[in-house]
Amino acid sequence: MFYRFLAILVLALQTAFLNGQDLKVASVFSDGAVLQQNKNVKIWGSALPNSEVTITPSWSKAVTVKAGESGEWCAELKTLSGDYTKYSVKITSSGKEIKLDDILFGEVWLISGQSNMEMTFHEEKLSSLKVEGRKAVLEGDDDPYLREFKVARCERFYPQSDVVANGGWRFKNRQNVEWFSAVGYFFGKILREKLNVPVGLINSSYGGTPVESWMPEKEATSEIYLAKRSERDEEIRMSALGEDAATERFSKWIEESQLYTGKELAAMDFSKFTKLSLPNYFFNTPRGESLGGTFIYKTITLPSPSGLTLELPQIDRNCQIFFNGEMVYQEILPSRAYRHPRVKIPGNLTRAGENIISINVLTSLWNGGIVGDPSEMRIISAKDTISLAGEWSYLSTFDLWKVNAAPKEGLPNAFLLSSLYNGMIHPLGQYAVKGFLWYQGEANLDNSTQYPVMLGDMVKGWRSLWGEELPFYYVQIAPYKYSGKDNTEAARMREIMSSAYKNIPASDVVLTVDLGDSDNIHPARKAEVGERLALKALYKTYGQNSADIRYPDVQYIKQVDGKAVIGIGNTYGKIISAPESSEFELSEDGTRFFKASHTICDNEILIQCDSVRNPLFVRHAYHNGSNVSVFNAKMLPLDCFSKKIINAPCVDNGKSVIWDLGANRRYEDHLNFNDRYADELALIAKKPAEQGFLPNIDVLYVGSSSVRMWKTLQQDMYPLRVVNNGFGGSTIRDIIYHYNILVKPYNPKKIVLYVENDVIPEDKLDTQTLFEFFKIFCSKVHKDFPSATLYIVSLKPSPLRFGIYKEQCAINTLLKKYAGSQPLTKYIDVSSDMIRNGQPDKRLFSEDMLHMNSDGYALWTRIIRKKIKL
């Protein structure tokens, strides 16, 4: 297996690096390196164990250090102010010497992320990756002081000591710049012009990868990483079983997944297969973008039997090649790998006349197919060469989404927790940089609500590695159709990303809601992205006030005469809009939105829709493929958003309508509408009518999943009449937001409240703010039901969330004290009896170690019945 051989070779080289068999310097130090100016920078490598290593810079005195027991050495040098002087460094030890020339001092930035950061100026004929302004960049003047170091893709289970370099440091000329990160280039170009110093970019990016692959394992401690940690552990376990076992598992999976056996395929009437032209990406052919297995075949005519060589250009991941029905090639590779097969075909498999070449290809991600120059697709005999380019036939053999998941390969793939941090970030941690640029997020659409936490954990890990709170500027994902142009999951992700920086010190976001292409996940307008990143850095990091850019933002939303009125800030004196392409929508219930028209009046936008007479919700550019239509005078876009209108009349019709927070309006930003529980809430809203509940019930239970999953609640509280309005994994904010569904329709004698999700990382509030929300809920209940008693159940400890037990105890203390000071408010302590020997009692929990089993609910029943005097 080529890839496994390569992995073993790299591991051997890195082991040699650590064992100090010869004098080496880390790969990031090469001729042409840019070092951070005015900084104590580290330079490191390996040598013979315990040997002396002398580092002699051309700008200062030599430094001598001693290599460690394993041969590792590290020295510190003081750099000078950046100018255009070229320096050198000589490293000597035990008679060996390394010379680094053409060294510059300047500003160094680490740039990282997935494909939109990795995307270069290089264009392939069949590819959709095209950069606006490419020709001008390639034909522009050379700039020997703008340089990039490209880190090769490298996935590893454990932190590495050195990166795999994709060449060395390269300066901007026509040949080199074609392979620069386009975003990085445009960023660096502006810094070069404005700061008048050399700029170095360390490009460590990898297309299609999620944020959790880029963070250190030590930061992935919360429960949101449980599945990822388990997946990583399983891959490590499977790696110990060896290559043959992996091949056997994978081959069996393919065999079980195929709709047809090899014999059935061989017996089919190939003339009825669909035609396609190769070489090509499958998405450019009738095969389309769907993932899974593809069987392709072609016939060739030979004058006589003879030995042959089959050559193919790039082919995706796993493939099997057959000649006249006999398998002549099979390769199992990691999910992001490609091969260029060159296969010997023995003469005994060939025949005079018609011969059949068939290939089984597995496309597990995207860009699958057989891609390259047509001349690379051929059959070579002793006397002739036959082109295989042109018409082939294909049959889809299975859909990846309709079969069991592929078995673990026992390899550190690019989607594995910490795999890219280990191979592509950790080895750079001693290299002095000014800050970080990040362009990623497309691969995390499925867990967008967790993204701010994961991004914060990643940044925390990077800053810990570098030992400084370095600035971190990131790019919001651009509009693209994803699951459908009119769907909204990507808009939610953009909205989440645009505020994630608020919880990450020394960070900021660049908006791209105006730079997208709904038909291309890799938009061409990379120059604007690089420029906006550069302006952020110039203003926030380098203090250039003239570079200050501020996006128009929503100052307030109100309802006036059936219209939504939005006040806009940061207009720079003017709002620019195209009313004919309005991206505003209005809704009365937060679920059904109608396209609305808008007009501009000074710094306000007036929005109206004939289908919505009482607008309670407004959203802007809130579809996957939406591009905004509102800008400020600097042509910076108004971000996408989905917001409620606080001052709108509260219609008490059982819909999800937030009541006026009054003096607590400062908390409204925490109450943004969330539709993740829409189905559950719709069922709850129907309860009074469908189940015939009397208005005067005994006990109303509201809360999160621990309430929702209490299936025996009615019998456990007998003879009281109870209603269970627990839903989802709700927070106290969700309970407040949906109060008119959960509480208002009833007239209970007692109300029991239990929520715990406000302290988990993805929904976390600080303790005091969380406490204020409990108080808001209590005040509302006592205002609406002055004779009802409210019982607040303490946040329970659980084995899964024991890492946040201190936060739970802190809020429990506040709730207990508050309940003791308020009339008709009681505190129920379930927490104390759920702790055993200083840990949560696992006997009370189901297999997920979060939710309770029957023993847990039996304990709650005893405690709560006693407290409410049953």
Tens-digit pLDDT profile for residues 730-778: 888 888 888 888 998 888 999 999 998 766 554 556 788 888 889 989 9
Q: Which CATH class is domain 11-218+417-546?
A: alpha beta
CATH numeric code, 264-402: 2.60.120.260
Q: What is the mean pLDDT of residues 110-127?
A: 87
Q: Which residue has the higher pLDDT, 744 or 463?
A: 463
Task: Note whether 11-218+417-546 and 264-402 share their fold.
Answer: no
The dihedral sign for the CA sequence 234, 240, 246, 248? negative
Contact between 367 and 261 (Cβ < 8 Å): no
* H-assigned helices in 634-745: 678-690, 705-708, 713-716, 732-737, 739-742
Query: 805-821 vs 767-784: helix axis angle to the nearest 10?
Result: 40
C-alpha to C-alpha distances, 170 to 149, 201, 842, nearest whole angstrom: 6, 10, 57
- Checking if the pLDDT of 288 tops 80, the result is no
- The token duo for 628 is 């905004």
314-323, 511-520, 852-861: range with lowest mean pLDDT: 314-323
Assign 661 a pLDDT band (cuts: 50, 70, 90). very low
Domain 662-867 CATH (choose: 3.40.50.720, 3.40.50.1110, 3.30.565.10, 3.10.20.70): 3.40.50.1110
Strands 553-560 and 563-569: antiparallel
Assign 578 a pLDDT band (cuts: 50, 70, 90). confident
The upper half-sphere exposure of residue 556, i.e. CA atoms within 13 Å in the direction of its Cβ, equals: 11
Assign 595 a pLDDT band (cuts: 50, 70, 90). very high
Question: Which pTM value belongs to this model?
Answer: 0.71
Assign 674 a pLDDT band (cuts: 50, 70, 90). low
Amino acid at 353: G
H or E element at residue 864: helix 854-867
As a whole-number percent, the residues of the chain with pLDDT over 90 amount to 54
Ranges of each domain in the chain:
11-218+417-546, 264-402, 551-644, 662-867
Q: Which residue has the higher pLDDT, 670 or 64?
A: 64
Q: What is the mean pLDDT of residues 150-164?
A: 95
Query: 489-500 vs 451-466: helix axis angle to the nearest 10?
Result: 40
Q: Which residue has the higher pLDDT, 622 or 800?
A: 622
Q: Which CATH class is domain 551-644?
A: mainly beta
H or E element at residue 244: helix 243-257
Q: What is the pLDDT of residue 765?
A: 66
- CA dist., res. 802 & res. 242, Å (int): 36
Instruction: Encode pLDDT of 332-371 as tens digits.
Output: 654 455 667 889 999 999 999 999 998 888 877 666 788 8
